[in-house]
Structure 1
Amino acid sequence: MPFINPEDGHLTVLNLFKTDTRDRVDTLVKEMKAIVDTAAFPGWISSTVHRGEQNPGTANFIQWRGMQDLESRYNDSEFKHHTVPVFREITTYVRLMQTEVELSQRHPALGDVTEVSPERDDYTVIEILGVKPADQGALVDALGTAHSFLVDVPGYRSQSVLRGIRSRNLDGGRGTLAAVGTDNDFVVVYSQWDGKESYDAFRNQADAEWSSARRAFDTKRYSLITSVDWNSYRAVHTRSAAQPVAA
């Protein structure tokens, strides 16, 4: 199963898709599963499909050996002339994000590694935080401090922080991709909880009930971010390369 580990050195690509109906989510998941089940791309390591819970959509958590392998995939004729048109047809929003894992922290009771798998019952929350490139490092550092108070929050399991490298969408024309924003202008937070009830209780807790550590973190975070986009998910399908791919 895939693991989130900054020491692995993988290029992690998070493909975020939104759509307008639950039926189209079914179609998205079906199309993504078909790609994952036949993946044999040079440098591809793993893919884990997530189905949107809070809002209609999907996320695909993909690990690659490096940037060159990903670019080869994007330049492939099948990607340009089949994959891109299919997803343009069934989505209202697409963002393909290249990232590096900066840190991955877990509740002390959950061991030494963060696993991403449909065999687990994690309620997964993915946040995309916009940030000025000059402030990206400070935001990553601030997010790392959240673990100190999250370990005391009922239902918290893990939090991984991924430094954004660049984003694209499907609007380049003729199957090509277009840049979204500028390089290094976002950070991804991938967190796991024991269920929706626990996460909602944490998210909706009254400010007056916050710990001093959470209040300090929140103040710092909001001084750095320029936008927030989030959704909750369940991992529904995963597959890894048959042989390990050297970084």
Structure 2
Amino acid sequence: MPKITANDGRLTVLNLFTTATPEKQQELLTAMRGVTDTADIEGWISTTVHAGQDSPGTANFIQWRSAADLEARYADEEFKRRTAPAFGQLATSVRLLQNEIAFTQQREAGGTELSPERDDWTVIELFGVAEADQEELIDALGASQGWLVDVPGYRTHTVLRGLRARGVEGRFVVVYGQWESKEAHDAFRGRPEGERGAERVKVDERVAALSTWRDVNTYRVVHTRSAGE
């Protein structure tokens, strides 16, 4: 079972796809499972496939040993001629994000696990940011949110430092969050500002001031595989 660990030296790739319909999403998920189950690539560590919930689409959380291993994958003729075009035909947009783990937090000890055997309601948020503000935004989204462990339904969140991307211009930061249910997450997001508490209001205002744009979708993990399985 893949785990997210801060400062592990790995390259974390988050591939986000949107689709026009749930049917296209299912076709894309089937194709991704096929690629994941046959993966035997130098430097590849794990892939976790997510199905979009609020909006049709998919997310692949992929762990690599290094950026050089990923670039070798992108240069592979099979990938360039068949895999990438097949995914592109099913998707309405494709964003390939290379990151490193900057921060992790969990309500309970044991790290952040990725598995379809868990019932996590997964929330992936993507923030645009000026290069000069990236580290401050990482702090605002990470270490400054210790109070989240006391929020009902919260499980974990991971902040990823965006390094480079295809399909996204400029610098970015990603938050990968796990909640116990859609209802718990919706209650948190929908709480009126007057009921949010001073710490949260301060952080929300800081994030809004530092980020240049924001995109979010919710997911369920549907498949995962690690090297050697």
Q: TM-score, normalised by structure 2?
A: 0.98
| Counterpart for residue 163 of structure 1 | 161
| Counterpart for residue 36 of structure 2 | 36
- The percentage of aligned residue pairs carrying the same residue is 53
> Matched residues in 1 for 2:136 and 2:104: separation?
17
What do the CA deviations read for 1:123-172 (whole angstroms, capped 9, x no partner)? 00000000011100000011123432211211000010000001104xxx
| Counterpart for residue 173 of structure 1 | none
- RMSD of aligned residue pairs (Cα, Å): 1.0
What do the CA deviations read for 1:174-207 (whole angstroms, capped 9, x no partner)? xxxxxx313xx00000000000000000011101
Aligned partner (choices 133, 136, 153) of residue 134 of structure 2: 136
Task: Confirm or deny: 8 A CA contact 2:47 2:226 kept in the other structure.
Answer: yes
* Alignment length (residue pairs): 229
Does residue 239 (structure 1) correspond to residue 206 (structure 2)? The answer is: no
Where in structure 2 are the equivalents of 1:146-225 lying within 5 Å?
Answer: 146-169=144-167, 180-182=168-170, 185-225=171-211
What do the CA deviations read for 1:29-86 (whole angstroms, capped 9, x no partner)? 0000001000011000000000000100000000000000000000000111001211
Once the 2 structures are TM-superposed, how far is the Cα of residue 214 of structure 1 from its aligned partner? 0.1
AA of the residue aligned to 1:220? R
> Matched residues in 2 for 1:76 and 1:85: separation?
13
| Counterpart for residue 57 of structure 1 | 57
> Matched residues in 2 for 1:16 and 1:112: separation?
27
> Matched residues in 2 for 1:63 and 1:50: separation?
14
Where in structure 2 are the equivalents of 1:81-160 lying within 5 Å?
Answer: 81-107=81-107, 110-160=108-158
Q: List alignment gaps of at least 5 residues for structure 2.
A: none
> Matched residues in 2 for 1:26 and 1:150: separation?
33
Does residue 24 (structure 1) correspond to residue 10 (structure 2)? The answer is: no
Task: Confirm or deny: 8 A CA contact 1:5 1:101 kept in the other structure.
Answer: yes
Q: List alignment gaps of at least 5 residues for structure 1.
A: 170-179
Task: Confirm or deny: 8 A CA contact 1:16 1:60 kept in the other structure.
Answer: yes
Q: TM-score, normalised by structure 1?
A: 0.91
> Matched residues in 1 for 2:144 and 2:152: separation?
14
> Matched residues in 2 for 1:20 and 1:91: separation?
7
Task: Confirm or deny: 8 A CA contact 2:126 2:215 kept in the other structure.
Answer: yes
